[in-house]
Structure formats: structure tokens, C-alpha cells
Amino acid sequence: MIIKKQGVKLMIPAIMAACAVFICALFLNYRQDLLLIESQIIPEQSVYFEAMKTTSVVVCAVAGGCLLITTAIMLIFYVKHYIDTHKKQLGILKALGYSRVKIAANFWIFGVSVLIGTSVGLCGAFCFMPWFYDIQNKDKLLPEVTLGFHAELLVFLVILPTVFFMALGIVYAIFKLKMPVLMLIKENFRSKARRTGHINNDGLFLENLKKTTLKSRKSLIFFLMFASFCYGAMTQMSLSMNDLASPVMGGMMLFIGLLLGFVTLFLAVTTVVDSNTQTIAMMKVFGYSQTDCKHAILDGYRPLSYIGFGIGTVYQYALLRIMVDVVFADMENVPTYEFDFAAMFTSLVSFVIIYEIFMVAYSAKIKKITVKEIMLRE
Amino acid sequence: MIKAKEITKSYGREQVLKGINLQINDGDFAVILGASGSGKSTLLNAISGLERPDGGSIFYDNSDISGLSDDELTKFRKNNVGFIFQQYYLLPNMTVSQNVRMGADLAQNSEYQSIIEAVGLGGKLNSYPSELSGGEQQRVSIARALAKQPRVLFLDEPTGALDEETGRQVLDYIIKLWNDKQFTIVMVTHNANIAETAKTVIRMKSGKIAEIYTNDTQKNSYEIGW
């Protein structure tokens, strides 16, 4: 049932996992193979050798590691969101006499999306590696690094994450299903609002709704900011690192940045709209226009997305600065690196265009929401 | 005056409304009575501008709303009608006051607090829906609809989710409101007892109007069975 209904959405964490494992596998495997030639390194090559080792770890930790953590957070959020929005169905199953463990056992399926994603990422990395190794070996600055397979990567990048997320889905479902049946069944429309700080009853409805929408799902703020962060950081990095790295690296960064930006933005905005279907439907029943609905539900996220883009800009500059000033500090003929305003401008303009296209698309989705949808959910 | 002429509506192959003709006068308290599946809620959705009928016309005075676009229907609802549903549909993350402002802001009604007080929730302005009983939640949804100052108030089984005592209280409050303000009320119910509180009863059966009659005396909610 979960696969049928959530197939497309389950693809999103799978894509995230694939990107994360692709980068980690590529650089960790290269590092492991580098270590195998350590005994052949002559003193003149040691600086470059150490720089390559450090680069692998830095790229893996900063890019792959961040992606892995984000994928994990996204999946935890996704499992939680799925269970929270399907409490009613779960409550009915429980009412019919299915045990908690029996119902929760079905949530192993979330691990499958991780298995698919990480496997694709690992296979993709190994397909890409011969080309990647050729590029690294071309300069002949080090003895030839031969491509080898390291089984521990399969364990740490595929098997363990899969098992972790299978267990996570099951454990979280067991925890949630502790709730009494009636609470599960009724909670969709009687969800408890958290009292947070001062309540402003004087403000206009649309402004209050905008603030409440933002406050009610803080995790979505993170994902929207992360989407713009990825887009800003990765696209600018790929555009401004021409002198520092191969075009392949630049292309890879660009691809991953666009992919992560798109899928995260898609997931976050879809969740915002889905979780506010009842509110949007009632606003339309009362006579609020499509523009009003979009303003109250989606527009509050815009400034936060631009902040995410700004953080991404600073992050990519700091990362490249560290690479040039620290990692390659002892090497000769390292190109100078300055902040690339042209890259920032190109990235910002394309981001604004893409973001607004997304908003127009979701505004059209809002238009299709009717009061019947929420009545049918009853 | 609301006038429906030959209204038809189908979902898939099933025809839910089969050529409905009716007239509801200004200031009337009309109940659409019928069993489950008789088409009463579909009729309410059509005449209130929530859904477009497949055929026929719906006139508010001399304006036909059946051919309006989605945006035009939204504007029509904004200016003319209020809704109260069985399941309340309050916004869970907003307080009583903020929920009522949803209706009040549309009519630029700054007196909305007096409406909240009138429904007996003056002391619960800062409460969230989850902190209220079913009856209190329904009273918030009544206040929200009234704050919009609608010309016609549509109610879809407003007591359907409430226990008998709370249901009687809510119904009594609706009757009191109608007596005080004399705006048009159109209420859907499956409960023939509740229909005794109305002025006009439109009884539906299998997508058609079986009969329309006027109650000689309108009963209050404590004079009827439940």
C-alpha cells in the first residue's frame, strides 16, 4: 500500500541517498586506493599525495557527509510525516484488531527506498570511477592509482543505512501506534496546536495564517532553506572552480546541486501544500482568492529561501578558500581564487526564475483544491 | 431570492440531481431533508456556489451563478454566503479569535469579538480548537460564518457530529440567530425532527424533490424529538 501510494515521493529520498553515496563512494574508494600506493611515494610527491588524501576526505565529509546527514534528516522527517498523515488509517487497522507490531512491521518499506538509492549511488560511482581515475592519473604527479573494490564501502554506504532506515520506520510506527485508537482516528482534524510565545489576535487573518504556517512545521523551513542552499552553493562552485578542478568535477557539482535543489524544493513545497489542504479548501469556501491562499501558505517561505541561497554562497566561497589556502597551501602553481560575482549573479537569477516557476506551479495546484477533498478524507 | 431551475449533477455515471426546481425567499429558514444519498448535500453545494451544476441555472435575484468561472464563484461566495459544516473545519493552529477573523476580515468586520461573545466563547479567545469541546468548536464555526455578515447562511448537518444536548443547544442558537437577524438560512439534515424547526422544508428523494411544504408552527429545539 505504501509503495503504491507513495512511490513517487519515496523516489526523493532515494535520489538524495544516491547522490550522497555517489560522492562518498567515489572519494572514499579513491582514498583507499591512494593508501595502497603510499609505499611508492617519493619525498617530492608527498605534498601532493597528502593534498589528494585531504581533498578526498574534505570533499567526502563536506559534500557527501552533509548530503548523507541531510538524507537521514529528510527520511526521518518523511517517515514521521507519512505516519502523522496516515494516523486515521493506522487507527482503523488497530481498531480492527491488528497488533501494533504487525502494523508497524510494514514500515520496513522505507528502507527499500534507501537500499535503491544507495545501491544506485554505489553502482553509479563505480561506473564513473574508471574515468575519474584516468583524469587523476593523467598528470602523472603520483604513481598510477589502480581502481579496486573495497567491500567496507558496501557495508557502510549501503547495508547499514538500509538497515537503519528499515528499523527507524518500524520503531517510529510502534511508538506512534501507542496512542489510543480514538486519538489516532480523530487526530487529523483535532491536532493539538503548540502554544508558542505571544498569541497575536489583533493581526489580520492572512498575516496570522502566514506566521502560523511557518511556525507549525519548522522542519520544512530547514528543507526549503537547504534546497536553496544546495542550489546556490553547488551551482556557484561549479561555475567558479574552472581553474581549480577539472570540468568533470564542475559538471558533477552542478548536476548534484540542481538535483538536490529540485528534489528538496519539490518535497518541501508539496508537503507545505498537502499539510494545508484543509486550510486552503476552507479559505476558498469562504471566498479567499487563489492569490490570497498562495500568499498565506507559500509566500512566507520566500525570504527564507533567499537566506538559504545567501548561506550557500558564503559556504561555497569559504570551502574553496579553505581548499586553496589550507589544503593546497604547500603546493606550487595553485591558481589564485577570488569571489566570483558573475557566477553568483548567474546562479541568483536562475534561482529566482526556477523558484518563481515552482510557486506558479503550486499556485495552480492550490487552485484545484476543493472542499470535497477534505470531506472525502473524513 | 434563490431560484434553481432544472438543476442536474452527475458523478461519473450516477446522476445525483435530476432536474431540481426550487425557490427560497429572502429571510426564509429552509431545510433540505433527505436520507443519505438523496442528493441533499450536492444540492446545497450547487445552490451555494461551491460546485457548478452540470445543467440548469441558479439565480440569486436576477443573476445566474451557474455559468460563473471559479474566480467569479469565489468572489460570489465572498460577498454573499457563509458556511457551517458538520465537521467544523476550524484551522487547528489558530486560536478562536484568529479563526473567526477568517470570516470577519472578508467583510472588514471589526466587531467580530462581540460575535464571539454572543456565541458564549468570550472567555476562550486564545483557546485552540483542540482545547474546545465539539459544541464549542461548532459555535466557533458559527461565529466565523456570521462574522462574514453573509446574505445566506448554508449549514450542512451542523449538529451531525454533536451529542443530543449539545446539538439542541447549537440548533437553538441557530434559530435564535435567524429570529434576531432574519437572514436566509438553508440547512441540510437527514433528521426529520430537526426539519420541524424550519419554516420551509424541501424533502429530497433519489435526486429529486419529493415535496416542499411550510411548517405551520416552527418548533424550538427542545420541542422536537432527536
* CB-based contacts of A160, cutoff 8 Å, min separation 6: none
Closest CB to B75 among A192, A215, A287: A287
pLDDT in tens, A285-305: 999 998 999 999 999 999 999
* CB-based contacts of B180, cutoff 8 Å, min separation 6: none
pLDDT of residue A123: 95
Chain A from 118 to 177: CB within 8 A of any B CB:
none
Give the mean model confidence (pLDDT) for residues B61-69. Answer: 90
pLDDT in tens, B117-143: 888 888 999 999 989 988 899 899 999
- CB contact, 8 Å: A192 with chain B? yes
State the burial class of residue A182 (Cβ atoms within 10 Å of its Cβ: 0-12, 13-18, 19+).
exposed
Closest CB to A374 among B79, B89, B97: B89
ipTM score above 0.90: no
Give the cell for residue B87.
465537521
Closest CB to A212 among B71, B93, B104: B93
Closest CB to B77 among A208, A212, A287: A287
Q: Name the residue in chain B with its Cα closest to that of A202.
A: B98
- CB contact, 8 Å: B112 with chain A? no
Name the nearest CA neighbour of A283 among B129, B128, B91, B156: B91
Give the cell for residue A134.
584516468
Instruction: Write down the pTM of the prediction.
Output: 0.76
Contacting residues of A for B148, CB less than 8 Å apart: 286-287
* Between residues A54 and B47, the one the model is more confident about: B47
Give the mean model confidence (pLDDT) for residues A175-183. Answer: 81
Q: Percent of chain B having pLDDT more than 70?
A: 100
State the burial class of residue A155 (Cβ atoms within 10 Å of its Cβ: 0-12, 13-18, 19+).
exposed
Residue from B41, B91, B142 whose CB has the most chain A CBs within 10 Å, to mutate: B91
Q: Percent of chain A having pLDDT more than 70?
A: 87
Whole-number Cα distances in Å, A134 to A128, A138, A253? 10, 6, 19
Q: How far apart (Å, rounded) are the C-alpha atoms in residues A197 and A207? A: 17
Q: Name the residue in chain A with its Cα closest to that of B110.
A: A202
Closest CB to A199 among B85, B88, B126: B126
pLDDT of residue B145: 92
pLDDT of residue A8: 66
- CB contact, 8 Å: A55 with chain B? no
pLDDT of residue A190: 45
Would the CB atoms of B106 and A288 count as touching at under 8 Å? yes
* Between residues A10 and A322, the one the model is more confident about: A322
Q: Name the residue in chain A with its Cα closest to that of B82.
A: A286
- CB contact, 8 Å: B77 with chain A? yes
Q: Name the residue in chain B with its Cα closest to that of A375.
A: B87
Kindly indicate the confidence band of residue A56, based on its pLDDT and cuts at 50, 70 and 90. confident
State how far residue B223 is from chain A, nearest Cα, in angstroms: 31
